[in-house]
Amino acid sequence: MYLAISSDMVIHVPKIPLFEYYVEKLGAEPGFFGDWEVPMRFTGSIDEHMAVRTSVGLFDVSHMGRVLLKGPDVVTLAQYIYTKDMSKVKPGFMSGPTLALNEWARVKDDEMLYKVSDEEWLLVPNALVREKMISYIRSVISSRNYKVEVEDLTHKYSMLALQGPRAVEVMESLGAKWAGDLKPLEFRLNEEVAGVKVFLVSRSGWTGEDGFEIWGEHGELRRLIDLFIARGVKPAGLIARDTLRIEMGFVLGDHEYGEDPSKFPCALALRYGMGAITWSKKGFVGEEALRACRREGLRWVRVGLKMGKEAGRLFPRTGSRVFVEDIDVGWVTSGCYSPVLNRGIAMAYIDTRYAVLGEEVLVDVHGRRLSAKIVDFPFIEK
Amino acid sequence: MSDVLVKVKGKEYIVKTDRRYTQTDEWAKLEGGVVIVGITDYAQKELKDIVAVELPQIGRVLKKGEEVGMIDSVKATSPYYAPLSGKVVEVNKDLEASPELLNKDPYGKGWIIKIEPVDPREYESLLTPEAYAEKIQKGVH
């Protein structure tokens, strides 16, 4: 329904910078993610998902934050805020994902840092918490008298993710021979791809496939998108991005983690992996609670649920309860249809006493209790 | 009679003239005393990527407007409703293995259930193809 508003009222609807281009030229269906209006899908989420798994797809991930941290105390700041040892990151590399905790060892955000040099880092916070994280970082800087400047580059650059087994081939066909030489998590600044100026290219992504994330000015990236599409790259929307990350067992804020201790277990229960926590590191926010959680042992743990064959393609939704016989043992945090497995899959927190890999549980799907198997991540073989 | 093609904002939706419609985007077609029910072309295009359809038990007695089951797409779920009161006499078993029939052929092979109506006059109270076409025109934005 249209809202009737008088002409002197302005409703601010933030859109990612190239939004109109996706909707008008590429036929994207719009939707909302956090504060942003984004393309949800182009031709179909299943096609887009499979293109990323078997060929190559392109996401616009400009809804995520892009932040510059600059000054002599950046490493000290990062060591204080994040669970990973940031002193080991080499220049020209990303840190790998790490966690910013609150004092209850609940997760504020999972983030990636990029080390340009000792005193210059880039940071990608998630869309939903970008502004909250920036003000949190600023408050830490001021209360601890760190010499760090924070600049929000989110609106200055767009951010694309070229993902899939053909990603290297596509970059090389555009003259970026160096792209294939980048190691996982390595990045380069101020490059050119087929005459298009890009600010940053990294060998990274959030789909479980090989690929690149590219930052650049909006008009420049718009030209790059056309070049990608001419080479058979499939534009993909945020629904496919969500099903791809669920197949990999990657977490999402407000689903698998959040700050509220009454809703989310401690960060350890996430089983985040990827070296996000460095136990030998001391003095980070939430450390005391995190160690207490480690010593006491976990009440809940995140596991995968793979729906049984009888469920067809049905899958449980966020909040669906999980049962062993008639006992309520946990809840679903994310679920979707897995195009690769042709089966419903989900992530759930389960009471650790019942969290036995390979065992069967029942999960509520539209009011029926259907059989599912407890499995590890990722759901698909990689 | 030829089908109606409704064009809204660059998108096209087929409305068949040989059947009736609901406000909730189901179609109903009277055939030999039984009413065949499915979802409209507009509904399938809105849902897209349909991966599962929940079918009722044969013999279940439905009330007009009652929720019959759920249609799942990759990330969303939508209920579908009984266009009129009656007993379920047949369900489309093909949808269990091939739910994508709802996307491919919503007015044909993608039918969902057949209902034996309690009061065939209810059929006449459903939206005409013209009224449904108008509903889509107004509803899409």
In angstroms, the separation between the Cα of residue A246 and the nearest Cα of chain B is 11
pLDDT at A9 over 70: no
Q: Give the chain B residue nearest A337 (alpha carbons).
A: B74
A134-189: pLDDT as tens digits: 999 999 999 999 999 999 999 999 999 999 999 999 999 999 999 999 999 999 99
CB contact A334 to B (< 8 Å): no
Asked if the structure places residue B81 within a domain, the reply is: yes
Q: Cβ of B72 and A44 within 8 Å?
A: no
Asked if the structure places residue A253 within a domain, the reply is: no
Co-location of A334 and A219 in the same domain: no
CB-based contact A48:A209 (threshold 8 Å): no
Q: Give the chain A residue nearest B139 (alpha carbons).
A: A1
Asked if the structure places residue B3 within a domain, the reply is: no
Q: Cβ of A337 and B51 within 8 Å?
A: yes
Q: In this structure, what CATH number is given to the domain that contains residue B70? A: 2.40.50.100
Asked if the structure places residue B24 within a domain, the reply is: yes
Distance (Å) of CA A109 to CA A125, A295, B30, B98: 7, 23, 56, 40
**Taking CB atoms and an 8 Å cutoff, what residues of chain B touch A46?**
49, 51, 74
Co-location of A293 and A303 in the same domain: no
Q: Cβ of A243 and B52 within 8 Å?
A: no
Co-location of A167 and A241 in the same domain: yes
Q: Give the chain B residue nearest A24 (alpha carbons).
A: B10
Expressed as residue numbers, the domain containing A282 is: 63-153+265-297
* Per-residue tokens: A208: 């479980």
Asked if the structure places residue B34 within a domain, the reply is: yes
What pLDDT was estimated at residue A224?
A: 98
Asked if the structure places residue B114 within a domain, the reply is: yes
**Taking CB atoms and an 8 Å cutoff, what residues of chain A touch B54?**
314, 366
What pLDDT was estimated at residue B140?
A: 58
CB contact B17 to A (< 8 Å): no
Q: Between residues 81 and 120 of chain B, which touch chain A (CB distance below 8 Å)?
A: 96, 99
Q: Which of A251, A257, A249 is nearest to A106 (CA)?
A: A257
Band (B103; pLDDT cuts 50, 70, 90): very high
Expressed as residue numbers, the domain containing B106 is: 19-125
B54, B74, B96: residue with CB nearest A336: B74
Co-location of A71 and A99 in the same domain: yes
Q: Give the chain B residue nearest A339 (alpha carbons).
A: B74
Mean pLDDT in residue range A38-66? 96
Q: Which of A284, A281, A350 is nearest to A320 (CA)?
A: A350
| Mutate which: A366, A368, A370, vs B, most B CBs within 10 A | A366
Angle at A168 between CA A166 and CA A174, to 5 degrees: 105
Number of domains in chain A: 3
Number of domains in chain B: 1
Q: Which of A72, A82, A173, A188 is nearest to A133 (CA)?
A: A82
Q: Give the dihedral of Cα atoms A53, A125, A201, A23; nearest 10 deg.
A: 60
What share of chain A in percent tops pLDDT 90? 92
A1, A46, A366: residue with CB nearest B74: A46
Q: In this structure, what CATH number is given to the domain that contains residue A28? A: 3.30.1360.120
What pLDDT was estimated at residue A12?
A: 56
DSSP state of A267: G
Band (A6; pLDDT cuts 50, 70, 90): very low
Co-location of A121 and A72 in the same domain: yes
Cα separation, A64 vs A130, whole angstroms: 7
Co-location of A347 and A307 in the same domain: yes
Distance (Å) of CA B48 to CA A53, A237, B42: 20, 13, 10
What pLDDT was estimated at residue B76?
A: 78
Q: Cβ of A317 and B77 within 8 Å?
A: yes
Q: How many CB pairs under 8 A join A and B?
A: 43
Q: In this structure, what CATH number is given to the domain that contains residue A326? A: 2.40.30.110
Phi and psi (nearest 5°) for A308? Answer: -70, 165
Mean pLDDT over each residue of chain A, to the nearest integer: 95
Asked if the structure places residue B102 within a domain, the reply is: yes
Co-location of A138 and A283 in the same domain: yes
Co-location of A330 and A317 in the same domain: yes
Quote ipTM for the complex. Answer: 0.72
Cα separation, A168 vs A176, whole angstroms: 9
Of residues A3 and A299, more confidence is placed in A299
Co-location of A330 and A381 in the same domain: yes
Asked if the structure places residue B141 within a domain, the reply is: no
Mean pLDDT in residue range A119-124? 98
CB-based contact A363:A348 (threshold 8 Å): yes
pLDDT at A8 over 60: no
Co-location of A56 and A196 in the same domain: yes
CB contact B52 to A (< 8 Å): yes
Co-location of A171 and A226 in the same domain: yes
What pLDDT was estimated at residue A366?
A: 86
* Per-residue tokens: A40: 């949800």
Of residues B73 and A198, more confidence is placed in A198
Asked if the structure places residue A165 within a domain, the reply is: yes
B48, B70, B75: residue with CB nearest A336: B75
CB contact A46 to B (< 8 Å): yes
Mean pLDDT in residue range A213-226? 98
CA A322 to chain centre: 25
Mean pLDDT in residue range A324-352? 97
Q: Evaluate if pTM is beyond 0.95.
A: no
CB contact A3 to B (< 8 Å): no
Asked if the structure places residue B14 within a domain, the reply is: no
| Mutate which: A239, A313, A334, vs B, most B CBs within 10 A | A313
CB contact A338 to B (< 8 Å): no
| Residue tagged 């080991």 (tokens) | A88
Q: Give the chain B residue nearest A30 (alpha carbons).
A: B141
Asked if the structure places residue A14 within a domain, the reply is: no
Co-location of A121 and A241 in the same domain: no
**Taking CB atoms and an 8 Å cutoff, what residues of chain B touch A41?**
48-49
